[in-house]
Structure 1
Amino acid sequence: MLKTWYYFLLCWLSLQLEANPGLKVRMTQKGLDYGRRVGMELLKQAVLKETFPSWSGQESFVIVKVNYVISGVKISAVDFPETSASFIPSTGIRLSVAQASATIHADWKMNTWLLKDQGGITVSISGLFLAVVFKVSRDSTGHLSMLLHNCQLSINSVKFKLNGGSSWIYNFLSGHLEKPVRTQLDKNLCLHIKYKIQIVDAQLRKYKVLSQIDAFAQIDYSLVSSPAVFESHINLDLKGTVYPVGNHTDPPFVPAPFALPNQYDSMIYLGVSSYFLKSASLAYYRAGAFNIIISKELGTAFYLNTALLKHLVPEIAQSYIRAYPVLLKLKATSPPAVTLNVDRCILGITGTVEVYAVLPNSTTHYIFAGNVTASTRANWTITKQKLIISLLLKRLQFSLLPSTHGSSEQMLLMKNFLSHTLRSAVIPVINDKLGKGLPLPNLSHTTLTGPVIKMNEGHLVISTDVHYKHEKEGDEDLHSHT
């Protein structure tokens, strides 16, 4: 019995590990190169603001032991003339810097049993080479994790210029400080990089993988597997499930496998599966977003009242001599069906419509009801980092419930009436709700530039470049949902 449960557990775990994603994200070499350029500029700014700890040591000068302290270390200039970034298959990303230079200012103090002295120092470092490999993976909570995998450092030249102090002290420092400075750089620079990467990793673990769309739904952006790193790109497989707010029950269907195209002209490729869209449809249905009440003017065409409806349903004329306002209650009876084909996305909506008269005392009186099946075409756009869906009514079928009778001519009139109602009042209401958009995975201070949407069988692909704006450019933080 124990072996059976053990086997079942292994099978279940293997299925979880092999779960297909609802969303796929690919960064290409073009995207990595852009990230490197932005990253190096940010690194320059960070280095110039960085403060470094003091250090002390002891050196022998002839027969005198000299104790020294270097403090107030600050980098005043830095240059990275040669940089490169590449993907390391099955590992992560390699960043290298060659022929880098830096100018460092600091204060020095020294003392012997004979005297004490102090002054300023300028250190010029040139020919610095640094190669860092970051390992990317998935942690147990579905967050992206980044750790320092390897760090190599070499320095060609370290030169000193001192201000203040006696001449013999100047000669001592010039001849003896290069070694401890190199030692400190060799010892601490990679450790400092490791510490900074740990900070980044901690921030990634705080990334909210559950993103709020609106009052109705949330998206789960957690990783379903570790990033797949290849020589030309890196792939991230995201769960891509949309849930009603407060209800994280998985849909009764699973994602089908799909692949991103073998294209690398854009920085980022985002694959959106039909599973993602179907889970969104189900989530909004469960949240009641498709239940709509129409009780106001339908544009300028006509005002909805019992006088208008009596031509469609004659029984109304017998019950309502006066013209009373009419209330329509539309309710989806199942989640809208999503069909994603090449260059076309169709949403099929099935529901009921109930018609009520609004009496002078504000109470409602049931008039009749019917079944509605509508076929709508979904158009896709991207605005402000969000995938926007807008619906266009294509076909409509209507049938009265058995308790209500009508001729074929009346049925045609009713169908035309409901078609107009859907086009002029219901679809705009739905589009207004959908207009808030589905937030796409993104990084802080980045915007998508020139996104192109291509629909395929069972999924759509968004190819796009990205643009980073510094905070000083006035760009707001686009990481608000993370």
Structure 2
Amino acid sequence: MFLWCVLVLVNLVSVDTVANAGVKVRLTQKGLEYGQQIGIASIQQKLKTINVPDISGTEKVDPIGKVQYSFTGIQIVNLGLPKSALGLVPDTGVTLSIDNAYINLHGNWRVKYLRIIKDSGSFDLAVSELTISTTIAVTSDDTGRPTVSMTNCAAAVGNVNVKFHGGASWLYNLFSSFVNKALRNALQKQICPLVADSIADINPHLKTLNVLAKVDQYAEIEYSMVGSPVISNTSIDLGLKGEFYNTGQHKEPPFSPTPFSLPSQDTDMLYFGVSAFTINSAGFVYNRAGALHLYITDDMIPSGSPIRLNTKTFGTFIPQIEKMYPGLMMKLLVKTVKDPLITLEPNNMTVQASGTVTAYAIQPNSTLSPLFVLNLEVSVSTHIYVSELKLTGNMTLNKIDMSLAKTYVGPFQVTSLDNVFKIVLKVAVIPKVNAYLQKGYPLPVIGKMQLVNSQLQVLKDYLLIETDVQFTG
């Protein structure tokens, strides 16, 4: 896999000029340098497959006459690329240059002259000061994934030194210049095509980008590119859709991404920016799917809690409940009535949710008798962090505000239930939500990519993930 990042990561990045990018990613010079290490090793392996064909022919040598010759079994015994560099050409692509490369080859030679005299031996060929320069373009394919291609390449063989072994020494000078030229041409013809093959080998890896990442039965996230890469002197940026959708139903939410810019940092290999738009699109999708509701029963309340979901406990605060439905267990239905709103401020992520709580008494025949409906306004703080290749988190309750929407048991003071519902939310609802958040939401990744030493900051309108990366296998 060549140029891991130029290209393997290139598929993630940020485009400030693209207004509808929900997720931005920046590949820095440090990331390119890591990719360079992997890429050079890949090119080196590819160049070792150079196949030097057998060379044969006839030369007229005075005073001997015609000399038939052949050079066969030519194989590479050593190849090194000791000096290389990756560079970025703004708005163009990635350049790769290799200097002072060398190739050592070994083969056999054979001659026949004066019709009956034969001679043979072996030879060693040392190629030095080999240079390769190429430019790689990064574009998008029809699936929204990045694709790379070589746009130009030049290879030049510097010095060629041939040493013959065995046979008559006068033959050496005869063939040195000829072998030099023939092998130089054979090598130069194959180098650029092999480099092009090495670059093309990246594309199958780029196609593993999870442009449509499944989250669960309700949702998937689209990470397709929304514009061409933006290449500067120091980084490669792309913009990704970064939007949650109902599985199989791509309906746009009634809001759009707010433009944001990644900070100018380059201490890590890769920077992800996850906008508030992306997170809010999740709320839109789950609310639209009817997934933001929860039935709460008494078995979800810790056994040591003084609050029980029965008419006796609630009768303490609303006496008519116990009078009308004595000795019955209760059930609560908590559900949202509009999309939750996630707000990102420096070091602070909050969720505002509007919903209702409907209380039921459970009759002996399991039918539900409605008791009351409360309007509920809830504020929670959320701690977000990166776990492996996912964005995960947990919530803590800030406050709740309640008002009476409807009663089936007569009027009562809602404030008398404040503490009861705070406890219910803390011990029954929040743990359920956190258990779900722990499953996480997939980040845009490729193949066997791992994030290393990741850190997350909550900034104005977006989450910033700073990380190094590693590829295994």
Q: Does structure 1 conserve the Cα–Cα contact (< 8 Å) formed by 2:21 and 2:226? A: yes
Change (3 A) 1:77 1:311: farther
Equivalent position to 1:308, from 303, 310, 313? 313
Separation (CA, whole Å) in 1 of partners of 2:174 and 2:362: 98
Q: Percent identity?
A: 32
Q: Tell me the alpha carbon deviations over residues 103-122 of structure 1, each in whole angstroms, 9 at most, x when there is no partner.
A: 44567889998799998765
AA aligned to 1:430 is V
CA RMSD between the two structures: 3.1
Separation (CA, whole Å) in 1 of partners of 2:401 and 2:118: 97
SS of the aligned residue for 1:444 comes to coil
Equivalent position to 1:245, from 247, 262, 265? 247
Change (3 A) 1:343 1:60: same
Q: Does structure 2 conserve the Cα–Cα contact (< 8 Å) formed by 1:331 and 1:351? A: yes
Change (3 A) 1:203 1:41: closer
SS of the aligned residue for 1:177 comes to helix
State the 1:100 CA deviation.
1.9
Answer yes or no: is 1:407 the counterpart of 2:407: no
Change (3 A) 1:145 1:361: same
Answer yes or no: is 1:352 the counterpart of 2:356: yes
SS of the aligned residue for 1:38 comes to helix
State the 1:135 CA deviation.
1.1
TM-score (structure 1 length as normaliser): 0.83
Q: Does structure 2 conserve the Cα–Cα contact (< 8 Å) formed by 1:70 and 1:109? A: no
Change (3 A) 1:298 1:127: same
Separation (CA, whole Å) in 2 of partners of 1:109 and 1:440: 61
Q: Does structure 2 conserve the Cα–Cα contact (< 8 Å) formed by 1:61 and 1:172? A: no
Separation (CA, whole Å) in 1 of partners of 2:120 and 2:412: 105
Runs of 5+ unmatched residues, structure 1: 1-16, 472-482
Deviates more, 1:374-383 or 1:440-449: 440-449
Separation (CA, whole Å) in 1 of partners of 2:392 and 2:215: 12
SS of the aligned residue for 2:201 comes to helix
AA aligned to 2:310 is N
Q: Does structure 1 conserve the Cα–Cα contact (< 8 Å) formed by 2:108 and 2:123? A: yes
AA aligned to 1:178 is N
Separation (CA, whole Å) in 1 of partners of 2:167 and 2:332: 91
Deviates more, 1:346-355 or 1:164-173: 164-173
Q: Tell me the alpha carbon deviations over residues 405-448 of structure 1, each in whole angstroms, 9 at most, x when there is no partner.
A: 4433xx22322111111111111111111222222223433332
Change (3 A) 1:361 1:103: farther
Aligned to 2:88: 87
SS of the aligned residue for 2:266 comes to coil
Separation (CA, whole Å) in 1 of partners of 2:435 and 2:369: 29
Q: Tell me the alpha carbon deviations over residues 254-294 of structure 1, each in whole angstroms, 9 at most, x when there is no partner.
A: 11211111222322222221111111211222233321222
Change (3 A) 1:456 1:158: same
Q: Does structure 2 conserve the Cα–Cα contact (< 8 Å) formed by 1:346 and 1:375? A: yes
AA aligned to 1:55 is P
Change (3 A) 1:285 1:159: farther
Aligned to 1:437: 440
State the 1:393 CA deviation.
1.0
Answer yes or no: is 1:377 the counterpart of 2:381: yes
Separation (CA, whole Å) in 1 of partners of 2:46 and 2:107: 15
Aligned to 1:137: 139
Aligned to 2:10: none
State the 1:154 CA deviation.
1.7
Q: Does structure 2 conserve the Cα–Cα contact (< 8 Å) formed by 1:68 and 1:110? A: no
Equivalent position to 1:225, from 227, 231, 238? 227
Separation (CA, whole Å) in 1 of partners of 2:315 and 2:120: 101
SS of the aligned residue for 1:265 comes to coil
Q: Does structure 2 conserve the Cα–Cα contact (< 8 Å) formed by 1:59 and 1:176? A: no
Q: Does structure 1 conserve the Cα–Cα contact (< 8 Å) formed by 2:43 and 2:195? A: no
Separation (CA, whole Å) in 2 of partners of 1:119 and 1:308: 102
Change (3 A) 1:207 1:381: closer
Separation (CA, whole Å) in 2 of partners of 1:42 and 1:137: 22
Change (3 A) 1:323 1:205: closer
SS of the aligned residue for 1:401 comes to strand
- 1:10-409 to 2 correspondence within 5 Å? 19-44=19-44, 46-47=45-46, 51-53=49-51, 55-62=53-60, 63-66=66-69, 69-70=72-73, 73=75, 75-104=76-105, 123-160=125-162, 176-205=178-207, 207-295=209-297, 296-299=299-302, 300-302=304-306, 303-324=308-329, 326-404=330-408, 405-408=410-413
- Report which structure shows greater RCO (CA 8 Å, sep ≥6): 2
Deviates more, 1:196-205 or 1:452-461: 196-205
Runs of 5+ unmatched residues, structure 2: 1-16, 61-65
Q: Tell me the alpha carbon deviations over residues 441-482 of structure 1, each in whole angstroms, 9 at most, x when there is no partner.
A: 23433332333323232223222222x2543xxxxxxxxxxx
Q: How many residues align?
A: 447
Change (3 A) 1:108 1:354: farther
Deviates more, 1:195-204 or 1:391-400: 195-204
AA aligned to 1:329 is L
Separation (CA, whole Å) in 2 of partners of 1:193 and 1:207: 23
